[in-house]
A and B are shown apart, each in its own frame.
Chain A
């Protein structure tokens, strides 16, 4: 078996509501080799988003260890974590989360503002990302001028523009019609195959999950093979 790229070891996560502990994840162990395409399934409220957030370093486990490409994510300071995220993670949200006041180009350019690239280099990279998702002709369009599927493809372009090795997608097709959902999953699959991106995608849709190599099931905070 190849070396793991994403590794969770005995991860627990609880939320606290006042003095009441709400356990969400129990003793999660997960190994994802580089270049894998993993589908994470499970009923609503089972902790899928929480798990993804832990891997992305936007939340911290209550106990246990999360590491990505050998970096122990759970031990980085907040600002180091922010920097690490901007270089290593591409995040795709269910509701796209584009900035409504920025056009497609500017939305995709956003993560590049955190790099040292100059204006010209940024332009080239944004154009590449947008052409990968097939929206090079929509650069000047604002989110409200795009369909849901197009918005999600812009969001995917934003996730890949910094060329991260890991892409995390939280129900990327959850708000899309069948046709658009198909396109988005196809796109993720392409990123995995052509660009060797490691992809973890949360989905409810078994048809969408079929595109992945590995399917894992989260139920009541526990992770099972399907």
Chain B
């Protein structure tokens, strides 16, 4: 620490090699951040789709709403459960919905991909406070009108405001666009459940979503429903349900990203090592002089370690800073559970920043350690004779 100023000035003195090393480490940290931000963004989007205090009911072992079937009598029996919160008029806050996938061409490449279509009730909107109609209007009851999530409207043909999309042997007009605070619902088309059940010829629901009067009693509620032999249903917190859906993809992205980052980092570490070995070789006499003045081997070790650490920290800061700009980029992926398109964005978090800096510091230490040890091991007389 004694020589931190000396280390810092040396970095400034050899601008080009410092810059290249900073760039190498910055690049690795950027990739590392980008990947973590990607899986974080995906996770956030799916988790945000769930509401605290909401529970979702699907058929046992169906994993997703798309594969789930809930019969009307079962739905009616569950809707009468006392644990469900009631609104001011005494109506239980619960909605039965269907979720069907349709195939639609993307605007970007004209290739078909899955779009989820959700049949909803009036209560569906109450139960999701983040819902906001941002353009157009709601559908008229009894018509072939639907509304589209802002992301699906943007990326799929026929899903924009005023456009028509064909499924269930009908043409549907998009009369409104909605947002739900960036959650997964924005990648869906919503329509009146009666119209959609009719069009798809599907007399059963996919799921029930309800708000619990007392969220703490969730476990009791779950045990009661799952234990009832008439139902054969699975009950999850809405948040957990959506989190579960992102698990596979986030694990996949993380594993792949971390592997790539580690491979890249080897390059950056070797780069830092070459830079630092060169610095030690160039400054042999300086090191000898320092030692002659009374600086200890340890201080010399720390001086060179500090130097590579500073380079790594600057690289790390640049990597993180550049990566934050990725928040402006929107990406979409297939939700591997429903095989529907899901749009989301890169999302930074304080944890990611922390990991990125730890990663940079590790690169700096690993790259700088051996050269620093060499610097510390010089014999003074030998170092002073080097010219």
B106-122 contacts to A (CB < 8 Å): none
Residues of B within 8 A of A84 (CB): 294
Q: Which residues of B contact A101 (CB under 8 A)?
A: 6, 9-10, 12-13
Which of B51-59, B95-103, B247-255, B285-293 lies at the binding interface?
B285-293
Return chain A residues, CB-CB under 8 Å to B10: 101
A13 to B352, CA, bound (A): 59
Q: Which residues of chain B are within 8 angstroms of A87 by Cβ–Cβ distance? A: 294
Known: A58-B380, A59-B381, A97-B289. A82 touches B295 (CB 8 A): yes
User: Which chain B residue lies CB-closest to A60?
Assistant: B381
Query: Looking at the complex, which one of B2, B9, B286, B297 makes contact with A114 (CB distance below 8 Å)?
Result: B2
The listed residue (B5, B290, B293) touching A106 by CB distance below 8 A is B5
Say if the beta carbon of A99 comes within 8 Å of chain B. Answer: yes
List residues of chain B with CB within 8 A of the CB of A58. Answer: 291-292, 380-381, 384
Q: Which of A82, A100, A102 contacts B291 (CB 8 A)?
A: A82
Q: Does A110 contact B (CB under 8 A)?
A: yes
List residues of chain B with CB within 8 A of the CB of A99: 6, 286, 289
A92-150 CB contacts (< 8 Å) to partner B: 93, 95, 97, 99-102, 106, 110-111, 113-114
Inter-chain contact total with CB atoms closer than 8 Å: 64
Give every chain B residue within 8 A of A78 (Cβ-Cβ).
297
Across the interface, do A114 and B6 meet the contact criterion of CB distance under 8 Å? no
User: A53 an interface residue at 8 Å Cβ cutoff?
Assistant: yes
A86 touches B289 (CB 8 A): no
Most buried by B among A82, A87, A95: A82
B230 at the interface (CB under 8 A from A): no
Say whether A193 faces chain B, with CB atoms less than 8 Å apart: no
Give chain B nearest CB distance to A207 CB in angstroms: 26
A86 touches B294 (CB 8 A): yes
Q: A56 within 8 Å of B by Cβ?
A: yes
Q: How many residues of B contact A (CB 8 A)?
A: 24
A217 interface residue per 8 A CB criterion: no
B366 CB-CB contact with A under 8 Å? no
Asked if B332 lies at the interface with its beta carbon under 8 angstroms from chain A, I say: no
Please report which residues of chain B, range 262-307, place their CB below 8 angstroms from some CB of chain A when the two chains form the complex: 285-286, 288-297
> Is the beta-carbon distance between A102 and B289 smaller than 8 angstroms?
no
B3: interface (CB < 8 Å): yes
Chain A residue at minimal CB-CB distance from B1: A113
Shortest Cβ distance from residue B208 to the other chain A in the assembled complex, whole angstroms: 70
A99–B293 Cα gap in the complex (Å)?
A: 12
Q: How does the 8 Å CB contact mask read for B371-387 relative to A, with 1 for contact and 0 for none?
A: 00000000011001001
Contacts of B297 in A (CB 8 A): 78
Q: How near does chain B come to A13, taking the closest CB pair, in angstroms?
A: 11
On chain A, the residues within 8 Å of B290 by CB distance are 110
Neighbouring A residues of B3 by C-beta, 8 Å: 113
A-B contact pairs, 16 of them (CB 8 A): A58-B291, A58-B381, A59-B380, A82-B291, A86-B295, A97-B285, A97-B288, A99-B286, A100-B286, A101-B6, A106-B9, A111-B293, A111-B294, A114-B2, A114-B295, A158-B293
The 3 closest A-B pairs by CB, nearest first: A86-B294, A101-B9, A97-B289
Given A97-B285, A101-B9, A106-B6: 13 more A-B contacts, CB < 8 Å: A58-B381, A82-B295, A91-B293, A95-B387, A97-B288, A97-B384, A99-B286, A100-B13, A101-B10, A102-B5, A106-B9, A110-B290, A113-B3
Which B positions have Cβ atoms within 8 angstroms of A? 2-3, 5-6, 9-10, 12-13, 285-286, 288-297, 380-381, 384, 387
